[in-house]
Amino acid sequence: MKPPEISAFIPQWPSLGIGTRAAWLIAQDCENQVLGLLSRLGAGYRRHGNCAIHETATVEEGAVLKGPIIIGEGSFVAAGAYLRGGVYLGKNCIVGPSCELKSSFMLAASKLAHFNFVGDSLIGEGVNIEAGAIIANYRNELDGAAIKIRYADDVIETGVNKFGALVGNGCKIGANAVIAPGAILEPNSRVPRLGLIDQFAYE
């Protein structure tokens, strides 16, 4: 099956100029993708090595940033947050206290409340992830087997052993929910508190 087009879930994606590879391949290459964006950034960013923070963004003392990282206009990163492995935050994003964001893109006005983990994922605009919710990126129970996704009555063989989710614009993920590795969430999806989304194809 042909991988789903990222722009069908995140219409703003082409404006980043990254390309149209499958979401899991972009997540696997997040560090290089963010480095490429760093080389094309305009004015208005404070540079700290390979981290770029917009002059209107706030990063509280105690946050840990391991570049390459871009933190966009008006975004907020709380004390105790941990960003690593290639991270892109668009405009007006929030990463709350004790959140870990690894090798992921998060577009404008999306929010991690607190005590969240998001790994190897593409997050659209206006996504809200409540406290304690997790987007996992590795099938521990399968000893790192390549992720296979059941989607649209078919199975997608990703060929990668780490991938979190492609999360469309406007999704809401409730507190303490778990998005298992290899999820594709349609725009405006709702995941209830304590919910589980698991689209892995076990056969």
Active site residues: 114
Give the CA distances from residue 54 to residues 17, 49, 124, in Å, rounded to whole numbers and listed in that order. 19, 14, 20
Say if CB 157 and CB 146 are below 8 A apart: yes
| Contacts for 143 with CB less than 8 Å, ≥ 6 apart | none
What is the helix (H) or strand (E) element at residue 33, kind and residue range? helix 30-38
Say if CB 150 and CB 200 are below 8 A apart: yes
